[in-house]
Amino acid sequence: MNRIKVSALLFSMLFCSQTFAQSEGCNIINGIAVLPAFVDRINGAPRAYLAGETISATAAAPGSTTNLVIEENGVVVATAAFPGTVSYRVPTSGTFTIDIGTDPNAQVTFTNAVCTVPSVSVPTTPLWSLAFLALSLLILVYFGVRRNKVA
């Protein structure tokens, strides 16, 4: 029975503890040290982002505008009313220029800009590893049951 418990523990460690690392773009956004700042945009440069990362920015008074926007390669991909928080979830991994700004263009107080990794992890274990683990579990269960019948 102990072998089965150990196998189950190894299985859960292999598939349930996968985590994501942050992309270069996320690290840059999270490292912005000048906030709060009274500006009209936070301009990005081409950086790598991973699918599922969420970029958020919060802006408040002083300042006057209608919307907060996030642009990917110059195209608006997310909007939110000002004052407030605008968020955008990166749909696919790649290199993008992410800009956070206002529409119409006006200076506001950006109080926060963050990038977070996905909250749900997806296993990235190779298929051959899954097959080997399943076969190992079956063998352990078979010999565990057989041993119990003999005893």
12-31 mean pLDDT? 72
Domain residue ranges in the chain: 24-116
Lowest mean pLDDT among 16-20, 30-34, 47-51, 83-87: 16-20
Least confident of 55-64, 70-79, 137-146: 137-146
Long-range contacts of 71-79 (CB under 8 A, 24+ apart): 71/97, 71/98, 71/99, 71/100, 71/101, 72/96, 72/97, 72/98, 73/97, 74/99, 76/103, 79/103
137 has a pLDDT exceeding 80: no
Burial 25-52 (b: 16+ CB within 10 A, else e): bbebbeebeeeeeebeebebeebebbeb
Fold of 24-116: Jelly Rolls (2.60.120)
Measured in degrees and rounded to the nearest 5, phi and psi for residue 47 equal: -140, 155
pLDDT beyond 50 at 54: yes
Q: How confident is the model at residue 37 (pLDDT cuts 50, 70, 90)?
A: confident
For residue 110, count other CB atoms closer than 10 A to its CB. 25
- Partner residues linked to 112 by β-bridges: 58
